[in-house]
Amino acid sequence: MRLYQMHYSPWSERARWALEHHHLSFEKVEHVPVLGVPLLRAVAKRPWGKITVPLLVAGDQSVQGSLEIARWAEEKGTGEPLFPPGQDEAIERWHQVGEGLLEAGRILVTRRVAGDREAQRESTPAFVPEGLRGAVAAGAGVVTGLLAQKYGFSGVDSSTARAQAREGLLALRAALPSGARHLIGERFSYADLLMAASLQFLRPVADLYMPIGPATRRCWSNPDLAEEFADLLAWRDQIFAEHRR
Ligand X SMILES: N[C@@H](CCC(=O)N[C@@H](CS)C(=O)NCC(=O)O)C(=O)O
Q: Which residues bind ligand X (CB under 6 A)?
A: 9, 11, 33-34, 37, 52-54, 65-67, 106, 150
Nearer to ligand X, 55 or 232 (CB): 55
> Around Cβ 20, how many Cβ atoms within 10 Å?
16
Residue closer to ligand X by CB (options 50, 131) is: 50
CB of residue 133 to ligand X, shortest distance in Å: 20
Q: Minimal CB distance to ligand X: which residue?
A: 52
CA distance 2 to 29: 7
Nearest alpha-carbon partner for 70 in 237, 214, 193, 202: 193
Q: Please classify residue 197 by burial: count the beta carbons closer than 10 Å to its beta carbon, then call 0-12 exposed, 13-18 middle and 19+ buried.
A: buried
Around Cβ 207, how many Cβ atoms within 10 Å? 10
| Closer residue to ligand X, CB minimum distance, 125 or 185 | 125
Per DSSP, what are the bridge partners of residue 22?
none
Min separation Cβ 165 and ligand X, Å:
15
SS3 label, residue 85: coil
| 8 A C-beta contact, residue 94 and residue 199 | no
Q: Which is nearer to ligand X, 34 or 176 (CB)?
A: 34
How far is residue 40's CA from residue 33's CA, in Å, rounded to a whole number? Answer: 11
CB of 170 to ligand X, least distance (A): 22
- For the CB of residue 67, give the shortest distance to ligand X in the complex, in Å: 6
Shortest distance, CB of residue 5 to ligand X, whole angstroms? 9
61 beta partners: 58
**Residue number, 96 or 238, with CB nearest to ligand X:** 96
Rounded to 10 deg, the angle between the 190-198 and 66-76 helix axes is 150
Instruction: Verify cis geometry, omega within 30 degrees of 0, for the bond prior to 177.
Output: no
Question: Nearest distance from residue 45's CB to ligand X, in Å?
Answer: 17
Shorter beta-carbon distance to ligand X: residue 30 or 118: 30
